[in-house]
Amino acid sequence: MKMLGLITRCRDEFFIKEFVDYYLSQGVNEIFIIDDDSDDKSIYDKIDDSRVVIIYSKNIIDNNYADQLYKKVKSKFKWIIYCDVDEFITTKRNLHNTIAQELKTTFKNDDCVRVPWVMMSSNGRLNNPNSVLSENIHRWNHDLKHPNDINKFRCRYNKIECKSIFKTEKFKSIIDHRPINPYNNSKLSIVSGTDGSPNNLNLHSNLREKDIESGVLLCYHYRIISIENSINKLKNNKWYIDDGYSLKDIQDSDYSEIIDKTLMLKSMSNLKFLHITKTSGTYIENLALKKGILWGRNDKKLRSLKYNEEYRQLKNTSFWHIPLQEFYKFPHKKGTKVFTVIRNPYTRVISECTCKWGGRFAKKVENVNDLNEYIKKQVPQANNKKFHHFLPQSLYTHNLKGEKVIDYIIHYEEIHTFNELMKKYGIDITYIKKETNQKFTVDDISDENIKLINEVYDLDFNYYNYKKIL
pLDDT at 79 over 60: yes
pLDDT tens, residue by residue, 305-327: 666 655 544 445 677 887 877 77
Q: Within 10 A of 386 (CB to CB), how many other CB atoms are there?
A: 16
Q: Which residue has the higher pLDDT, 398 or 151?
A: 398
Q: What is the pLDDT of residue 212?
A: 95
- Virtual CA dihedral for 299, 300, 305, 308, nearest 10 degrees? 70
Q: What is the pLDDT of residue 361?
A: 53
d(CA 12, CA 238): 12
For residue 259, what are the β-bridge partners? 138
Mean pLDDT value of segment 142-163: 89
Q: Per CATH, the architecture of 2-264 is what? A: Alpha-Beta Complex (3.90)
344 contacts 410 by C-beta, under 8 angstroms: no
Q: What is the pLDDT of residue 127?
A: 95
Please give the C-alpha separations between residue 90 and each of 85, 99, 379, 463, in angstroms, as whole numbers: 14, 7, 48, 38
Q: Which residue has the higher pLDDT, 124 or 311?
A: 124
d(CA 118, CA 140): 8
Mean pLDDT value of segment 81-95: 92
d(CA 111, CA 114): 10
| Sequence ranges of the chain with CATH classification 3.90.550 | 2-264
Which CATH number is 270-464 given? 3.40.50
pTM of the model: 0.71
SS3 at position 97 = coil
d(CA 174, CA 1): 20
pLDDT at 58 over 80: no
**Which of 220-229, 372-381, 421-430 is predicted with the least confidence, judged by mean pLDDT?**
421-430
Percent of the chain with pLDDT over 70: 91
Q: What is the pLDDT of residue 310?
A: 58
Q: Which residue has the higher pLDDT, 238 or 402?
A: 402
pLDDT at 121 over 90: yes
Q: What is the pLDDT of residue 276?
A: 93
Q: What is the pLDDT of residue 185?
A: 67
pLDDT at 465 over 90: yes
**Which of 106-110, 360-364, 413-417 is predicted with the least confidence, judged by mean pLDDT?**
360-364
| Sequence ranges of the chain with CATH classification 3.40.50 | 270-464
**Which of 42-46, 55-59, 376-380 is predicted with the least confidence, judged by mean pLDDT?**
55-59
d(CA 279, CA 341): 6
d(CA 60, CA 300): 48
pLDDT at 470 over 70: yes
Residue 209 host element (H or E) = helix 209-214
d(CA 376, CA 380): 7
Q: Within 10 A of 108 (CB to CB), how many other CB atoms are there?
A: 8
Q: What is the pLDDT of residue 358?
A: 55
pLDDT tens, residue by residue, 59-74: 666 677 899 999 999 9
222 contacts 88 by C-beta, under 8 angstroms: yes
Q: What is the pLDDT of residue 315?
A: 46
**Which of 167-176, 289-298, 299-308, 408-417 is predicted with the least confidence, judged by mean pLDDT?**
299-308
DSSP 40-96: -GGGGTT---TTEEEEEESSTTTTTHHHHHHHHHGGGEEEEEE--TTEEEEE-TTTT
Q: What is the pLDDT of residue 302?
A: 73
d(CA 127, CA 324): 39
Give the model's confidence band at 353: pLDDT under 50 very low, under 70 low, under 90 confident, else very high: confident
Mean pLDDT value of segment 130-136: 90
**Which of 46-55, 339-348, 416-425 is predicted with the least confidence, judged by mean pLDDT?**
416-425
Mean pLDDT value of segment 191-197: 94
pLDDT at 197 over 60: yes
SS3 at position 240 = helix
pLDDT tens, residue by residue, 221-242: 999 999 999 998 888 777 777 7
Average pLDDT of the chain, as a whole number: 88
77 contacts 169 by C-beta, under 8 angstroms: no
49: phi then psi, degrees, rounded to nearest 5:
-150, 130
Give the model's confidence band at 57: pLDDT under 50 very low, under 70 low, under 90 confident, else very high: confident
